[in-house]
A = this chain, B = another copy of it.
Amino acid sequence: MKFQLNFGHVPGIPVGATFKLYKEMNDVGVHRSTMGGISGSGKFGADSIVISGGYEDDQDMGNVIVYTGQGGRNDAGKHVRDQEFIRGNLALAINQKEGLPVRVIRGKDPKNSFAPDEGYRYDGLYRVESHWHEVGKSGFTVWRYRLEKLEATVELYDSSSSPAPLTGGNQAPERKSTTVQRIVRDTKRSKELKKHYDYQCQVCNLRITTASGSYAEAAHIRPLGAPHDGPDTPNNILCLCPNHHVMFDLGAFSIQDDLTLIGIDGVLFVKSGHQVAQEYLKYHRDHYLDRVKNS
């Protein structure tokens, strides 16, 4: 690693700070990569990224960004090969797994209404909510990341109950700061499906029982929200234990059309009264399944 990663806000650089040149961002440490859009390592995660319209597949919705990984382009900026799951692309996936915040810097981009009119602007901390792969507009594999702005998941753990910045490390050790590693969301439909399975995991049949009742999690096979926009319908939902939910979301296993599991042994249990749509299983296989392990 050429430089020290530094997660969280950079002291003295407020959200909204602007920079004319890439080099200025290097100098103050808000973005330490001298050329790349992703500052980070495949071992420790990414501490900052620059969004500047270079990738035709990026989608900027302000509080939510669908960001494209690096690589796969020739000198003219054209996609000519698959992006690999290494370096910066792997780094952003580690952010997701570990709950590390990433600084987002937007660069000038006339096509993006959230971008500054000139130069670069530090736009605060985001969490990496998910990552997947897909065939981009050019026909080659790209890695993609859904980023969510962190103001939305304010830290409530300080005894003072005043919101503290979410930072991942490089802090004075006295300071109790936490990051959000994982958020499990639920819908009315997914609550119903969990009841249908009486909270039993469709992969391992485990039912976690507690004094306040049984516990399970619902996994949307094709995720809700942009850019996937999967439906909140029972044929797109599975009832899983937390372990298999994490593994499913991180692509450690997926499911064949005949319900055989890929990546782990077994067959998905589907109870009478529940149907799983093959098109959503295919979506998960095509975008989430760990390609390294299962190719």
Contacts and interface: CB of A to CB of B under 8 A. Distances in A.
Given A64-B161, A152-B154, A154-B152, A96 B186 contact: no
A187 B178 contact: yes
Nearest to A252: B210
A171 interface: yes
A215 interface: yes
A186 B8 CA distance: 14
A180 interface: yes
User: Which 9 pairs from chain A and chain B are nearest by CB?
Assistant: A242-B242, A93-B212, A157-B225, A182-B184, A210-B250, A152-B154, A211-B290, A61-B161, A178-B185
Contact of A183 (B168, B180, B189, B252): B180
Interface residues of A, number: 72
B158 A212 contact: no
B177 A181 contact: no
Contacts of A271: none
A148 interface: yes
Of the candidates A63, A183, A210, the one having the most CB atoms from chain B within 10 angstroms of its own CB is A210
A280 interface: no
**Of A149, A183, A209, which is in contact with the most chain B CB atoms at under 10 Å from its CB?**
A183
A211 B293 contact: yes
A184 B185 CA distance: 12
